[in-house]
Every structure is written in C-alpha cells, then in structure tokens.
A = this chain, B = another copy of it.
Amino acid sequence: MSQKNHESHSHLFLPIRPERVSEKVAGQLKKVISDGVFRVGDRLPSERELAERMGVSRPSVREALQQLEMQGILETVRGGGSIVKNLTEQQIRSPMEVFLGDDPQMVLEVTEVRAFMETWAAKQAALHRTEDELKRIQALLEEMERDLEKGRIRYEIDFKFHSEIAAATHNTFFVHLIDNLHQLVSYSIKVHREQVFTARQDQETIFRHHLRVFKAIKDRNSAEAEAAMGDHLRFVVEEFKRWAQAR
C-alpha cells in the first residue's frame, strides 16, 4: 500500500499554521520598531499598557517581548522596562571593538565614515523632515545653547542632535547604523579618557555649525544642509587628527 499517501499530498492543502496571539503582538512590535516609531534606546510602553492597548492579556505581551528579546531586538530589565537594542550591533560593533581598543587611526577612520554619512543624512533630513522632527531638533539646539552658557556642551546632547537628524531621513536602518558609529567613537573616547573639544572657542564654533545645519533643514534647503554638515564634520575630523597626533 502507499503508506505515504497522507504525506504526499498533505503539503498541497495545509501549509497554514495558526498564529498565536503572542506572535501577532511580536509582529506588531517589530513593525513599529522597523518603522522607526521606537528608536535605539527608547523604552517602549509597559507590559500592562501594551496589553490594554492591544486588547490582549499580559502573559501574551510578555511572551511576545520574550520572543523579541531572544531575537536580540529588545532588552528588558526588571523594574526598568523594555529597551530597543541596536539592530546592527551584533553585525558591526562587536567584531569592530576588538580593533578599536586604543588605535587612534581606527577612531579617525570611523569618524571619516561618520562624516560623509551624516552629510548625506542632513541632506535627506532637509528633504523629508516633518514638523514634529524639526521641533525636536530645535529643542535639542536650545538645550545645547543653555549648555554652552554654562561652559560645556554635553556629549549626549550633541549625540541626540545628530541622532534626531538621522531619524528625519526616515531610514530606520540608517538610524541604527549611525547610532552604532556614534557609540563606537564615544566608547573610544572614554577609553582614552580624553575630551577633544574643550576650548571655549571650539564649543562656540560647534554650536554655530549646528545652528547652520538646523536652519538649512528648517528651510528644506538640502544643498545648504549638506554643505553645512560637511563643513562641520570636516572641522571635527581635523580636530580629531590634531588630537590623535597630540597624544
């Protein structure tokens, strides 16, 4: 007898698999992350809130979060919440950190790559930015100004400024990538226990650069945005070179 009859034609009719609620929840969460609604480092809503807003039970949400954590997309900490991880980290950062350790040449190379990537970002941001994104960029600029009056612009604010511009490109992959490059450089700076731009003069220059970039993005002038960011980062790269030689 044909014993594998029930096997041979089974794949013709039943390729379907009932999708669990937790998988649907995981799918929705993946979508909003890939759409850039939640970016690297963002905390997504609490389990209870997600459960309520999606109309499912908390265990289902928990299982979904667990799936995403197992895929390396999230990290959840007890009492803290669930944080979106950098999707390119495993791909780029971990293999790179080995080389980066204390090689200023490598830091310079990363900075060079960052430079032209952010130039592209500024151009794209000028083309695609929304009013909401513009407001966030402006808010960071104002915070930067307050920092400047106190004497020193915090690196986190500078980082957020560039990160916000990256977000305005509406290319989620790029956002994760640029975040990774930022982290690589900042990590290196910490290792060397150095700060590059300490002079008051440098601080003011950097602020002026940022202001120029912001205005261009505000006016949707992509060429000017590209030029402004290009000038800014050429300055940064030059300072970096001087710093690398000085040590």
Interface residues of A (CB under 8 A from B): 18, 22, 30, 34, 59, 62-63, 66-67, 70-73, 78, 85, 87-96, 98-99, 103, 105-106, 109-110, 112-113, 116-117, 120, 171-174, 176-177, 180, 184
> Shortest CB–CB separation between residue A101 and chain B, in angstroms?
10
> Shortest CB–CB separation between residue A191 and chain B, in angstroms?
15
Q: Is the CB of B105 within 8 A of A34?
A: yes
Give A116 to B119 CA distance when docked, in angstroms: 10
Number of identical protomers: 2
Give every chain B residue within 8 A of A59 (Cβ-Cβ).
59, 62
Give every chain B residue within 8 A of A117 (Cβ-Cβ).
116-117
Give every chain B residue within 8 A of A105 (Cβ-Cβ).
34
Q: Is the CB of A173 within 8 A of B85?
A: no
> Shortest CB–CB separation between residue A154 and chain B, in angstroms?
24
Q: A120-B116, A176-B96 are known contacts. Are A106 and B70 too (CB-CB below 8 A)?
A: no
Q: A78-B18, A180-B91, A184-B91 are known contacts. Are A173 and B96 too (CB-CB below 8 A)?
A: yes
Of B63, B90, B99, B106, which one neighbours A95 at CB under 8 angstroms? B90
Give A58 to B39 CA distance when docked, in angstroms: 33
> Shortest CB–CB separation between residue A32 and chain B, in angstroms?
12
Of B66, B89, B174, which one neighbours A63 at CB under 8 angstroms? B66
Q: Is the CB of B173 within 8 A of A113?
A: yes
Give every chain B residue within 8 A of A176 (Cβ-Cβ).
92, 95-96
Q: Is the CB of B103 within 8 A of A95?
A: no
